[in-house]
């Protein structure tokens, strides 16, 4: 029997006696209908002479609870068009699925490391306090993966990364350890996103042994550092001196912004305040740091220095757009100045 099927009429259909099934055919789309079993289940079906079959055959389209009636009718119409072309709908569905998978794999393989890192930065690093520093460690000027930026992400191998890490460790051992950790986290993300089959940093060990620091500079050493920093110039000269004065972490001091400072005038130099927002503190809580007069003087010197880009929001910057980095090079210059002063004094 044929009926103008609607959601209401389908809901009203009663289950047949035990051991029986009933097909209620649609009056709108030929061969389309609903099958009801004795258990009460309802499925959309299409009865047609499929390619390769001599007689009309019934095929299930979808469960009534899982598909909309209008969508099921449209699927039936599509199947009939495919059958009229002499193609089995199952074969066509499989072909389209394979084509879609091949296109996905094709587009994935064409993604370069730089492309994937852009996505990683947008989706993950942008929410991290040290996101910018992590990106620089991955493919910045001294980044571990910089030489692979234009390579397809899936072609980067473990031996290549191990060699890059070895080269980096020869110059900056501890930095190489950190970069390996950042790269491992990045490739784990890539694997979760199905961009790579495996993490190429797995089984690669940290290249350098790290020792816990159990000493601090004595007053004599601090005098040497202070004097040498005065010859470094902006921005590292003022930055290093401020690090001596303030008990804060390196990256917190390096990233000081103008809008975080309340620098009082000369009459009340001890009332100046530096407020770190919660996004830049380790415990996620905002921090108010009282600035002693010496710290205030160093900050004013850095802010007014001719080498500082005037439109930059950062106190310590070389580009104007980002806070300073390149601490290893600055440390090497500082050590050289200290050694020179010791030779001259001897």
Measured distance CA(26)–CA(22) in Å, rounded: 13
pLDDT-derived band at 216 (thresholds 50, 70, 90) equals: confident
Confidence (pLDDT) at 223: 93
Asked if 134 and 121 count as a contact pair (C-beta separation under 8 A), the reply is no
pLDDT in tens, 266-307: 888 778 999 998 878 777 788 999 999 999 999 999 999 999
Residues 151, 120, single domain; the answer is: yes
Confidence (pLDDT) at 162: 94
Range of the structural domain that residue 289 is part of: 219-345
| 77 found inside a domain | yes
Find the angle CA(140)-CA(143)-CA(146) to the nearest 5 degrees: 80
Measured distance CA(111)–CA(185) in Å, rounded: 19
Q: Which among 34, 38, 44, 42 has a CA at the least distance from the CA of 15?
A: 38
Of the three residues 99, 124, 145, the one that is the final residue of a domain is 99
Asked if 242 and 295 count as a contact pair (C-beta separation under 8 A), the reply is yes
- In this predicted structure, the answer to whether residue 107 has a pLDDT above a threshold of 80 is no
Of the three residues 99, 126, 153, the one that is the final residue of a domain is 99
Residues 186, 236, single domain; the answer is: no
Measured distance CA(87)–CA(85) in Å, rounded: 6
Cβ partners under 8 Å of residue 151, min gap 6:
112, 113
Residues 246, 320, single domain; the answer is: yes
Measured distance CA(338)–CA(328) in Å, rounded: 15
Confidence (pLDDT) at 212: 61
| 186 found inside a domain | yes
Confidence (pLDDT) at 126: 86
Question: Backbone phi, then psi, for 58, in 5-degree steps?
Answer: -95, 130
Tell me the average pLDDT of the chain: 90
Residues 147, 61, single domain; the answer is: no
Share above pLDDT 90 across residues of the chain, in percent, rounded to a whole number: 68
Residues 57, 173, single domain; the answer is: no
* Counted domains in the chain: 3
The angle that helices 219-229 and 236-245 make with each other, rounded to 10 degrees, is 150
Confidence (pLDDT) at 43: 94
Residues 95, 117, single domain; the answer is: no
| 187 found inside a domain | yes
- In this predicted structure, the answer to whether residue 108 has a pLDDT above a threshold of 60 is no
pLDDT-derived band at 239 (thresholds 50, 70, 90) equals: very high
Residues 164, 237, single domain; the answer is: no
Pull the structure tokens for residue 116. Answer: 């994937």
Measured distance CA(15)–CA(20) in Å, rounded: 9
Strand pairing class (32-37; 21-26): antiparallel
Q: What is the mean pLDDT of residues 215-225?
A: 87
pTM for this model (two decimals)? 0.46
pLDDT-derived band at 7 (thresholds 50, 70, 90) equals: very high
Look up tokens 């993604």; give the residue. 111
pLDDT in tens, 18-69: 999 999 999 999 999 999 999 989 999 999 999 988 899 999 999 999 899 9
Confidence (pLDDT) at 131: 86
pLDDT in tens, 318-343: 999 999 998 989 999 999 999 998 88
Of the three residues 42, 77, 99, the one that is the final residue of a domain is 99
| 84 found inside a domain | yes
| 209 found inside a domain | no
| 76 found inside a domain | yes
């Amino acid at each position: 029997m044929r009926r103008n099927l609607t959601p209401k009429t389908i809901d009203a259909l009663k289950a047949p006696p035990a051991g029986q099934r009933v097909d209620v055919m649609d009056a709108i789309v030929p061969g389309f209908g609903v099958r009801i079993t004795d258990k009460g289940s309802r499925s959309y079906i299409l009865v047609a002479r499929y390619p390769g079959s001599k007689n009309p055959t019934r095929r299930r389209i979808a469960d009534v609870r899982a598909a909309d009636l209008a969508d099921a009718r449209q699927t039936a119409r599509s199947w009939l068009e495919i059958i009229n072309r002499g193609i089995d709908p199952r074969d066509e569905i499989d072909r389209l699925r394979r084509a879609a998978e091949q296109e996905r794999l094709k587009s994935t393989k064409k993604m370069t490391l730089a492309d994937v890192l852009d996505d990683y930065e947008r989706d993950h690093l942008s929410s991290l306090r040290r996101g910018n520093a992590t990106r620089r460690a991955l493919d910045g000027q001294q980044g571990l993966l910089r030489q692979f930026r234009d390579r397809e992400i899936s072609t980067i191998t473990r031996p290549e990364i191990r060699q890059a890490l070895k080269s980096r460790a020869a110059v900056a051992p501890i930095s190489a350890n950190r970069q390996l950790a950042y790269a491992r986290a990045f490739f784990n993300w890539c694997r979760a996103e199905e961009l790579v089959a495996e993490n190429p940093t797995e089984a690669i060990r940290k290249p350098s042994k790290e020792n816990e620091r159990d000493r601090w500079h004595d007053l004599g050493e601090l005098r040497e550092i202070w004097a040498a920093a005065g010859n470094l110039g902006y921005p590292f000269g003022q930055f290093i001196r401020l690090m001596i004065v303030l008990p804060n972490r390196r990256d917190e001091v390096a990233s000081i912004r103008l809008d975080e400072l309340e620098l009082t005038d000369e009459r009340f130099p001890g009332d100046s305040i530096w407020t770190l927002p919660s996004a830049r503190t380790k415990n996620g809580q905002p921090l108010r740091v009282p600035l002693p007069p010496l710290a205030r003087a160093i900050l004013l010197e850095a802010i007014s220095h001719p080498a500082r880009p005037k439109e930059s929001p950062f106190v310590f910057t070389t580009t104007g757009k980002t806070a300073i980095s390149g601490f290893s090079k600055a440390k090497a210059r500082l050590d050289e100045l200290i050694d020179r002063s010791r030779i001259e004094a001897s």
